[in-house]
């Protein structure tokens, strides 16, 4: 049996779910009508364990592809985009920080091309995020930061 991508993913889900379940059973569970602090984590981590087992069983039953080549550009750029978002949110504001996050994350794709469709899509998505998180949820973040005011 070759160890494929699905096998590693299933094992990751199962192990992560087991660790989360081990931690969450230490909190009071409660009942469905009066949930304790451990109720939701126990259920979610149990579902994660079951999902991991299901993915593992499916990967063993299937022939399985070899582990694919690692996309180093995406592996480095996506976490870097999150760091840039965190650093840019105060001086630039929420809207420009989301735009930066989108462009940097999208640039990892081989299909990425910054044209008018991508720019409009990014602006619409950043605008929706701004309305959702700042206006509706009430996150205390400036839409435009100190550098842009």
Per-residue pLDDT of the chain (149 residues; tens, 9 = 90+): 456 777 888 889 999 999 999 999 999 888 878 888 888 899 999 999 999 999 888 887 776 556 667 777 888 888 999 999 999 999 999 999 999 999 899 888 888 888 888 889 989 999 999 999 988 888 888 888 888 77
Residue with tokens 């989360």: 20
Please spell the DSSP secondary structure of 125-147, one letter per residue.
HHHHHHIIIIIIS-----SS-GG
CB of 130 within 8 A of CB of 98?
yes
The per-residue pLDDT for 51 is 94
Angstrom CA distances, 117 to 95, 107, 120, 123, stand at 18, 15, 5, 10
> Where do the structural domains in the chain lie, given as residue ranges?
5-61, 72-148
Nearest to 59 by CA among 123, 19, 95, 5: 5
Q: Which two tokens stand for residue 126?
A: 């950043």
């Amino acid at each position: 049996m070759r160890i494929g991508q699905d096998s590693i993913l299933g094992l990751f889900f199962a192990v992560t779910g087991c660790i989360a379940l081990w931690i969450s059973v230490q909190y009071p569970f409660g009942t469905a009508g009066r949930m304790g602090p451990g109720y939701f984590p126990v259920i979610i981590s149990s579902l994660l364990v079951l999902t991991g087992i299901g993915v593992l069983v499916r990967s063993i039953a299937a022939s399985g592809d070899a582990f694919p080549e690692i996309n180093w550009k995406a592996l480095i750029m996506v976490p870097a985009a999150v760091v840039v978002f965190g650093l840019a949110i105060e001086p630039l504001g929420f809207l420009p920080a989301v735009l930066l996050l989108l462009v940097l994350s999208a640039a990892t794709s081989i299909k990425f091309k910054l044209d008018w469709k991508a720019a409009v899509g990014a602006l619409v998505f950043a605008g929706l995020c701004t309305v959702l998180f700042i206006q509706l949820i009430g996150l205390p973040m400036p839409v435009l930061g100190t550098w842009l005011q």
